[in-house]
Amino acid sequence: MITTATTDGPTIRRTETIPGLRRSLRAHEMIVNMGPQHPSTHGVLRLELIVDGEIVVDVIPHIGYLHRCFEKHCEHMTNYQQVVPYADRMDYVAAMSNEFGYVVAAERLLGIKVSDKVEFTRVIMAELSRIASHLIALGTYGMDIGAFTPFLFCMRDREHILDIFETTCGARLLYNYMWIGGLSHDPPASFKDKVRDFCRYFKPKINELNELLSYNKIFIERTAGVGVLPPEVAVNYAVSGPTLRGSGVQWDLRRNDPYSVYDRLQFDIPVGKGIKGRVGDCWDRYMVRVEEMAQSVRIMEQAVEMMPSEGDVQSAIPKRIRPAAGEVYARTETPKGELGYYIVSDGTASPFRVKVKAPSFVNLSALPAMSRGAMISDVVAILGSIDIVLGEVDR
Partner 1 sequence: MTTYFRDIWEGIVTVLIGMKVTWRHLFTPAVTIQYPDVRLKLPERARNRLYVNMDDCIGCDQCSMACPVDCITIQTIKSTPDVDLGMTSFNTKKRLYVAQFDIDIAKCCYCGLCVPPCPTECIVMTEVYEFSEYERRNLLYNFATMKPAEITEAKDKLAVYEKEQAAKKAAAAAAKAAQAAAPAPAPNVVKDSPSNAGSSGDAPTTGNAPVTEPKA
Partner 2 sequence: MKEFLISLLQNQILVYTVMAFVPLAFVVPFALFAVWWERKISAHMQDRLGPMRTGGWHGWSQTIADIGKLIQKEDIIPAASDHFLFKLAPYIVFTGSYAAYAAIPFSAAYVGSSINIGLFYVIAISSLVVVGLLMAGWASNNKWSLFGALRSAAQIVSYEIPAALALLAVVMVAGTFDLQEINRLQGGWFWHWYAFSNPLLFLAMVIYFVSSLAEVNRTPFDIPEAESELVAGYHTEYGGMRFALLFLSEYANMFAVSAIASTLFFGGWNSPFGNALTGPWWGLIWFVAKGMTFIFIQMWLRWTLPRLRVDQLMYVAWKVLIPFAFVIIFGVGIWTLVVR
* Region of 16-24, 77-85, 106-114, 246-254 interacting with partner 1 (CB under 8 A): 77-85
For position 170 contacting partner 1 by CB under 8 A, the verdict is yes
Q: Any residues with CB less than 8 A from the CB of 342 and at least 6 apart, and which?
A: 105, 327, 328, 329, 353, 354, 355, 356, 357
Residue 30 interacting partner from partner 2, partner 1, none (CB closer than 5 to 8 Å by kind): partner 2
For position 326 contacting partner 1 by CB under 8 A, the verdict is no
Residue 169 interacting partner from partner 2, partner 1, none (CB closer than 5 to 8 Å by kind): partner 1
Nearer of residues 212 and 269 to partner 2, judged by Cβ? 212
For position 171 contacting partner 1 by CB under 8 A, the verdict is yes
Nearer of residues 32 and 69 to partner 2, judged by Cβ? 32
DSSP three-state, residue 354: strand
Residue 120 zone, left/alpha/beta (φ > 0; ψ -120 to 50; rest): alpha
**How many residues form the binding site for partner 1 (CB under 8 A)?**
32
Helix (H) or strand (E) holding 326: strand 326-334
DSSP three-state, residue 59: strand
Residue 286 interacting partner from partner 1, partner 2, none (CB closer than 5 to 8 Å by kind): none
CB neighbours (10 Å) of residue 394? 21
**In the complex, which residues of this chain contact partner 2 (CB under 8 A)?**
30, 32, 38-40, 54, 142-149, 152-153, 156, 212-213, 216, 218-219, 221-222, 375-378, 380
Instruction: Map the footprint of partner 1 across residues 205-224, applying CB under 8 A.
Output: 208, 211-213, 215-218
For position 82 contacting partner 1 by CB under 8 A, the verdict is yes
Please give the C-alpha separations between residue 90 and each of 46, 77, 139, 293, in angstroms, as whole numbers: 19, 16, 20, 22
Position among 97, 98, 129, 176 found at the interface with partner 1 (CB under 8 A) = 176
Please give the C-alpha separations between residue 175 and each of 35, 93, 118, 156, 357, in angstroms, as whole numbers: 31, 11, 16, 20, 21
Closest listed residue to residue 160, CA positions, set 203, 118, 119, 122? 203
* Region of 123-131, 152-160, 303-311, 378-386 interacting with partner 1 (CB under 8 A): 152-160
For position 328 contacting partner 1 by CB under 8 A, the verdict is no
Q: Is 111 exposed, middle or buried (0-12, 13-18, 19+ CB in 10 A)?
A: exposed
For position 184 contacting partner 1 by CB under 8 A, the verdict is yes
User: What's the min distance (Å) between Cβ of 82 and partner 1?
Assistant: 4
Alpha carbons 104 and 302: distance in angstroms, whole number: 21
Would you say 224 and 277 are in contact if contact means Cβ atoms under 8 Å apart? yes
- Residues near partner 1 (CB under 8 A): 77-78, 81-86, 88, 149, 153, 156, 159, 166-171, 174, 176, 184-185, 188, 208, 211-213, 215-218
